[in-house]
Amino acid sequence: MKKIVLSLLLLTGLSVVTAKAQMEAAQKVTYDVNKDATISMPQDEAWDILNKAELLQKASNGYATAIVVTDANFPVEREVTFADGTMRKETIKQVDKQYKFMVIQLGTESLPKGIKEAEICVFTKDKDAKCEINWKAKIKGNAEGKKALMEKITAEFESYALGFEKLTKKSIPAMRMN
């Protein structure tokens, strides 16, 4: 009996050490581009816009002239055409409907020279009848290519933030009184 209890204590101790070693290996992800915006819209409405190509195009404030889903099966493939005439292929590789976030992998054929890979993460958070949207991008590659892509993605994120803000503006037309 003494050997069994000693063996159980030894096994328990080893599993705690293993778990601790695994937790120490976890690292915080740092992003190259970050844009946060709080909009006057419920999180569910903002999430619907982010997930529907035609609404997302409208929310881009003219930055994206077309967003076309080329394969609706998961992982979702789509092509984004920008106002400057460039096109980007991308894959929505992760969508979490419960926590309302997504991860988008940019197609290697769409990346500037010197960039190995890039991905965009979009997080939403409910904030007292408003929604906080966080756009983040992680880019791997050389400094020159990274700088060019960071500038383009920053402009894209800024356009989305402005577009979402414009979508929340409700104007009431004036009525002529006689």
Q: Sign of the C-alpha dihedral, residues 74, 75, 81, 82?
A: positive
- By DSSP bridging, strand 115-127 and strand 130-141 are antiparallel
pLDDT (tens digit, 9 = 90+) per residue, 44-73? 999 999 999 999 999 999 999 999 999 999
- Residues written for the chain: 178
Give the tens place of pLDDT for each residue, 87-119.
999 999 999 999 999 999 999 999 999 999 999
Domains of the chain plus CATH, in order, are 25-168 (3.30.530.20)
